[in-house]
Amino acid sequence: MLNAIDRREFLMGLAAAGGAAVLAAGSRTAAAAAPVAVPRARNVVLVHGAYADGSCWVEIIPRLQQAGLNVTAVQNPLQSLAEDCAFTQRVLDLQDGPTVLVGHSYAGEVITQTGVHPKVSALVYCSARAPDADEDYTALAKTYPTPPASAGVVHAGGYAWLGEEAFLRDFAGDVDPAKARVLYAVQGRVSDALFTAKVTQAAWRSKPSFYQVSAQDRTINPDLQRFMTRRMGAKTIELPSSHLGIVSHPQEIAALILQAAGAA
């Protein structure tokens, strides 16, 4: 794990490497990984995280469709990691060729586990968990300062969700408040047992991987995101966004997905 000085030196070195990896105005490179060779994909499968549902991709989907890609958004039950992976597996089975698998937040675990599917050509992580096989992600996260959103989680009846204040401020801080309230209303209810399981395989070790870091994230610590993307050796962009960069910065993230699809 990098200490503060090592992280600063690492990022300074990357900055010196130039901005060629920046995919759109307003984004900046967080990691200067070597160019990633990816096969041309015609399908994209999007997997939402906890405290969300498939509508969180509403700004991304039309941009990918306009580029000629077939797009499917999975609706996670959020009861268990195994069940969420099963839902994604079924969607992947139905794809007709190379497919980019994209996960936001908690769904990083889902795509890490299911991304070994033979139809998956590349992985894209959006402010997402990226554990290694059999790694205790909760323990890893605790080695970094606790993000503010954690204090806003409400528990009742074996389920959890984000309270409205925490959702608007810490989850969707740079999203228009009217739109953020809609997303708050449709957020999933997460089983208290959802985060206890570990992935048993890490697809990012064998598949080309891309990562979008949210520099103003108050749900997953940005330094933890930087550690995970560095460990993965992923092609990375960093955006001045909240945890919901997929809503507030859709152009840049769509461009990253297009690059992962070999279409950029």
Detail the DSSP E strand segments found in 68-208: 70-74, 99-104, 120-126, 153-156, 159-162, 190-191
Alpha helices in 17-80 (DSSP H): 61-66
Per DSSP, which regions of the chain are E strands?
A: 28-31, 43-47, 70-74, 99-104, 120-126, 153-156, 159-162, 190-191, 209-214, 235-239
How far is residue 145 from each of residues 142, 219, 242, measured CA to CA in Å? 7, 11, 17
pTM for the model: 0.87
Give me the tens of pLDDT residue by residue for the chain, a chain 264 residues long: 344 334 333 333 333 333 333 333 333 333 334 456 799 999 999 999 999 999 999 999 999 999 999 999 999 999 999 999 999 999 999 999 999 999 999 999 999 999 999 999 999 999 999 999 999 999 999 999 999 999 999 999 999 999 999 999 999 999 999 999 999 999 999 999 999 999 999 999 999 999 999 999 999 999 999 999 999 999 999 999 999 999 999 999 999 999 999 986
Give the model's pLDDT for residue 35: 52
**Whether 167 contacts 152, CB under 8 Å:** yes
Whole-number pLDDT of residue 13: 38
Task: Give the separation between CA 229 and CA 244, rounded to whole angstroms.
Answer: 18
Predicted pLDDT at 37: 78
CB atoms within 10 A of CB 36: 16
Report the 10 Å Cβ neighbour count for 192.
12
